Amino acid sequence: MLVGIPKETYPGERRVALIPSVVPTLRKAGLDVMVESSAGKEAGYPDAAYVEKGATIAASRMQVFDSAHILLQIRLPGANPEQGTPDLPLYRAGQIVIGLAEALSNPHAVRDLAARKVTAFAMELMPRITRAQSMDVLSSMGTIAGYKAVLLAAETLPKMFPMLMTAAGTITPARVFIIGAGVAGLQAISMARRLGATVEAYDVRPAVKEQVQSLGAKFVDLPLEAGDTEDKGGYAKALDESFYRRQRELLTKIVTSSDVVITTAAVPGKKAPILITAEMVAQMTPGSVIVDLAAERGGNCELTKPNQSIVAHGITIHGPENLASTVPYHASQMYAKNVSTFLLHLVKKGEIVLDLHDEITRETLLTKDGEIVHPRIREVLGPLAGRRVEEVS
């Protein structure tokens, strides 16, 4: 079977789905690899490096789509609605397509894939179980986002992060507050501590308190009972507005006394909860910085502008949408490891075998034989889930 790697077309996307060092692993499993010319160039992986490891370079994008039995991508059309749509006619019935699909946020794109009769998998729906940790793309990319968020804040803040004893006097450390202690939040804590900041962190899950403290940060305890905060797949669940309102009230004092606030609270397929209001921003010390890692979902800060950096009330608010792509070399390395491990999970003796009794396969499978098979996507689409594209367009 031939695995195809098209060049990413999303604006500003510099990652590539597979790096040269992974090619021998796939070949050992009986899979050949074809890469679109210059697909890895912006990530630091030239065509020659792929050829050296046993891959072939396609003469055109069309050749990749025409020849490949399996396509590995960073972004499927659902996660690349403008530039990805022209690729839809290139997909063939029976082709295996694996990538980030934004399936819960853009379920209509899943219907489009079903209409092409491809077998599509969404990497962002990977269940958070022990067996799937090496396939967890969101955790990999969250690690990079947390790292870069701190660097972005440090570059913007008109203060230094560490405490310094100098002949000119003592420089007090910057105060950094991290909201959300998931993968991105924990990496942000670690990075801010390395730079010498005083770090506090909050999460609705009391169970992460020890992890926060182990990284040298203070865990902020709020008198709030959140109840069940995760779904069965291990992802965050949306809470009711009364909880968020009370949460904002209790967070105000900490937010307004911090030099840097980094927010990471996002719920798959839903708008991010507002944790920082415009009123809270107005009370912060001028020059302070907010980095909103939930910007792609609308933002945790009421004033966030997705993919923009703005200044409001003297506070710089960054709303980056694709921080992982700013570190394309290692982001591609991590993604390639995740997606190749998942692909090899599906391959038995050189052929794709779909075991729907397996949780990893079942939870990531979107479409098969012209149908949407994922129950959560069918639920979101309602009556449209079973209808062809041409019937509703």
Q: What mean pLDDT do residues 141-147 have?
A: 98
Annotated active-site residue 244? The verdict is no
Annotated active-site residue 139? The verdict is yes
Ordered by start, the domain boundaries in the chain are: 2-135+328-392, 142-321
- Catalytic member of 38, 60, 67, 133: 133
pLDDT for residue 233 is more than 70 = no
Residue 205 is predicted with a pLDDT of 86
CA distance 345 to 349: 11
- Catalytic member of 10, 61, 91, 139: 139
CA distance 350 to 2: 10
* Same-fold call for 2-135+328-392 versus 142-321: yes
- Catalytic member of 87, 112, 136, 203: 136
- Catalytic member of 14, 235, 288, 340: 235
pLDDT for residue 119 is more than 60 = yes
- Catalytic member of 27, 92, 128, 387: 128
pTM: 0.91
Annotated active-site residue 235? The verdict is yes
pLDDT for residue 94 is more than 50 = yes
pLDDT for residue 106 is more than 60 = yes
> Strands 119-122, 96-100: parallel, antiparallel or unpaired by DSSP?
parallel
Q: What is the pLDDT of residues 70-85, one digit of tens each?
A: 999 999 999 999 999 9
User: How many other C-beta atoms lie within 10 A of the C-beta of residue 381?
Assistant: 17
Annotated active-site residue 213? The verdict is no
Tell me which H or E stretch contains 379.
helix 375-381
Annotated active-site residue 128? The verdict is yes
pLDDT for residue 237 is more than 70 = no
pLDDT for residue 35 is more than 90 = yes
- Stronger pLDDT, 274 or 237, i.e. the higher one: 274
Domain 2-135+328-392 CATH superfamily:
NAD(P)-binding Rossmann-like Domain (3.40.50.720)
CA distance 262 to 156: 13
325 near 12, Cβ under 8 Å?
yes
Write out the CATH class of domain 142-321: alpha beta
Q: What is the pLDDT of residues 314-341, one digit of tens each?
A: 999 999 999 999 999 999 999 999 999 9
Residue 238 is predicted with a pLDDT of 58
CA distance 28 to 132: 21
Identify residue 193 by its one-letter amino acid code. Answer: R
